[in-house]
């Protein structure tokens, strides 16, 4: 079997490694002419680390990132609303890893080079169209200038081409990204460690929020610290299709004046950041199908979601694993793609909606509504039961509660590994 993967991001590359692991040949076609290590911070939850460990990458990823110890929520006054241990300290058998997206991409690409060979990833090939014909899928590509650059024939085509997926567009013509009126600012900066030294913090509420976590240890004890800040979109905002464009740094920093807390000076962290980028907060509505005959969608192409609860990268990895497991379990390609879809789509569509409602971060908004001026004790504002059930329900729905992750086998159990 030969598989065509469209898109060399986190979903496409990790899927290629999973297919290779089970003996299926594949090739990844990527639009950009040079694959560079791009992006700021991303999180790999234990359910994804479990799968990447089964691919032999666990130690490399752990060494390249930060093993997240804690997730903590604070109101805009810097008062702690909730904290929970993360990763092995929480009882998982695998860690949570906060890592530079560029580094993660580089590690996946390096593993592909070693295992599948340098020709397994074909850059400068943007998918323009595809069709299924006589049990094959023919994909057509253009180079960065828009000129036709050839075709690829595969038994299956996997659309791993991200939030603005061309593969998805062919099934859902005219579908638009959904913009919620908020802008993200994004930055990464060398800084002193705060709290545990490996704490992910979310501060504020729905309309004004910051997510901060370290992604790399630096020599001398400092850490590269990744942050995202949300605000209502100002005039002159970037086009919806843009990922990262340069932002007016001062406009961003000014909005976080006063966010100087004993445990972290958020305002100073933002002010010290060399370059601030911006992107609109977009996702897409859930769709009823991902698999159409011999074509399917994975990662952001299937379920682009708002960046709440640090899910997109992890779910992209899991998609590829479940897809590989389905191809092992079912001989007929179309039936295997349907099996994959049926195992994943309901939970991911649910996650899109949960994230629009702030997912586990909804307790920040509840605390803001009930106590905008702060509180003496958090349990005067939110009961322990509300706090605990919000945190647990999100993890359960996302498939990374401790019991689920620890008790299941890897999605792809190789015969030699079984038992
Ligand atoms: C440049 C970049 C930087 C990012 N930075 C961050 C970050 O800092 N933090 C974070 O949490 N998330 C970031 N993301 C998003 C994050 O990687 C995804 O949300 C998540 O990992 C799911 O991965 P994915 O592979 O589905 O999508 P993506 O990682 O977005 O990968 C999709 C890939 O498909 C390619 N592609 C698109 N259209 C075509 C086409 N027609 N033909 C061929 N290839 C195509 C894209 O160039 C891209 O490489 C970034 C994405 C990109 C593309």
Does some domain include residue 270?
yes
Query: Which distant-in-sequence residues (6+ apart) come within 8 Å of 396 by Cβ?
Result: 404
**Residue among 205, 160, 95 nearest 300 (CA):** 160
Ligand 1 closest atom vs CA 299: 26
Phi, psi torsion values for 246, nearest 5 degrees: -65, 135
Structure tokens at 224: 């590269």
Q: Is the CB of 120 under 6 A from ligand 1?
A: no
How far apart are alpha carbons 297 and 295 in whole angstroms?
7
Task: Report which of 74, 367, 95 is spatially closest to residue 212, judged by C-alpha positions.
Answer: 74
CB of 333 closer than 6 angstroms to any ligand 1 atom: no
Domain that holds residue 188: 178-283
User: How many domains, the chain?
Assistant: 1
**CB count, 10 Å around CB of 261?**
18
Cβ–ligand 1 distance for 12 under 6 Å, the answer yes
Asked if 340 and 292 count as a contact pair (C-beta separation under 8 A), the reply is no
Any alpha helices (H) in 65-202, and if so which ranges? 101-115, 166-171
d(CA 303, CA 322): 15
Residue 239: what pLDDT?
A: 58
Q: Report whether 209 contacts 252 (CB < 8 A).
A: no
Q: What is the mean pLDDT of each run of 10 residues along the chain (419 residues)?
A: 97 98 97 89 97 97 98 98 97 97 97 96 98 96 97 98 97 92 91 97 95 96 96 66 77 94 98 92 95 98 92 96 97 97 98 93 96 97 96 94 94 69
Beta carbons of 193 and 222 less than 8 angstroms apart = yes
301: in domain? no
Which pLDDT belongs to residue 415?
72
Is residue 143 assigned to a domain? Answer: no
What stretches of 272-332 show up as alpha helix (H) in DSSP? 312-329
Does residue 122 lie within any of the structural domains?
Answer: no
Residues in the chain, overall count: 419
Task: Give the ligand 1 atom nearest the CA of 12.
Answer: 25
Give yes or no for residue 65 CB within 6 A of ligand 1: no
pLDDT score for 418: 44
Residue 264 lies in a domain: yes
Domain assignment present for 170: no
Distance 142 CA to ligand 1 centre (A): 18
- Joined tokens for residue 10: 């986190």
Ligand 1: residue of 68, 122, 161, 298 to mutate (most ligand atoms within 8 A of CB) is 161
Q: Which atom of ligand 1 is nearest to the CA of 7?
A: 34
Would residue 241 count as lying in a domain? Answer: yes
Ligand 1 within 6 A of CB of 8: yes
Ligand 1: centre distance to CA 162 (Å): 5
pLDDT of residue 419: 42
CATH number of the CATH domain containing 188: 3.30.9.30
Is residue 412, in this structure, part of any structural domain at all?
no
Q: Is the CB of 228 under 6 A from ligand 1?
A: no
């Amino acid at each position: 079997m030969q598989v065509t993967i469209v898109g060399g991001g986190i979903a496409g590359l990790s899927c290629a490694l999973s297919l290779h692991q089970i003996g299926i040949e594949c090739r990844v076609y990527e639009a950009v002419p040079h694959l560079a290590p791009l992006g700021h911070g991303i999180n790999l939850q234990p359910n994804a680390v479990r799968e990447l460990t089964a691919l032999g990458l666990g130690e490399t990823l752990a060494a390249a990132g930060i093993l997240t110890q804690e997730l903590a929520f604070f109101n805009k006054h810097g008062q702690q609303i909730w904290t929970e241990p993360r990763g092995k300290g929480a009882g998982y058998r695998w860690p949570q890893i906060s890592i530079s997206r560029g580094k993660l991409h580089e590690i996946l690409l390096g593993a592909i080079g070693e295992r599948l060979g340098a020709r397994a990833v074909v850059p400068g090939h943007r998918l323009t169209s595809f069709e299924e014909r006589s049990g094959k899928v023919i994909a057509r590509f253009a180079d960065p200038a828009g000129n036709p650059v050839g075709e690829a024939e595969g038994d299956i085509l996997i659309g791993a081409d991200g939030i603005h997926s061309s593969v998805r567009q062919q099934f859902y013509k005219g579908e638009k990204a959904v913009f919620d009126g908020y802008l993200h600012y994004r930055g990464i900066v060398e800084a002193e460690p705060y709290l545990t030294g490996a704490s992910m913090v979310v501060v504020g509420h729905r309309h004004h929020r910051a997510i901060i976590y370290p992604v790399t240890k630096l020599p001398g004890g400092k850490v590269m610290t990744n942050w995202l800040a949300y605000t209502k979109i100002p005039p002159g905002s970037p086009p919806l299709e843009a990922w990262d464009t340069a932002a007016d740094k001062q406009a961003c920093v000014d909005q976080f004046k006063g966010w100087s807390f004993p445990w972290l000076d958020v305002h100073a962290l933002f002010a010290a950041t060399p370059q601030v980028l911006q992107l609109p907060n977009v996702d897409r509505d859930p769709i009823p199908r991902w698999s159409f005959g011999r074509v399917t969608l994975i990662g952001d192409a299937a379920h682009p979601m708002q960046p709440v609860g640090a899910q997109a990268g992890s779910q992209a990895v899991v998609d590829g694993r479940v897809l590989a497991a389905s191809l092992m379990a079912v001989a007929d390609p179309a039936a295997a793609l349907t099996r994959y879809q049926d195992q994943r789509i309901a939970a991911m569509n649910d996650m899109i909606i949960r994230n629009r409602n702030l997912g586990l971060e909804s307790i920040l908004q509840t605390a803001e509504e009930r106590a905008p001026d702060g509180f003496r004790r958090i349990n005067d504002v939110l009961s322990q039961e509300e706090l605990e059930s919000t945190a647990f329900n999100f993890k359960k729905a996302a498939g990374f509660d401790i019991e689920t992750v620890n008790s299941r086998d890897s999605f792809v159990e190789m015969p030699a590994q079984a038992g």
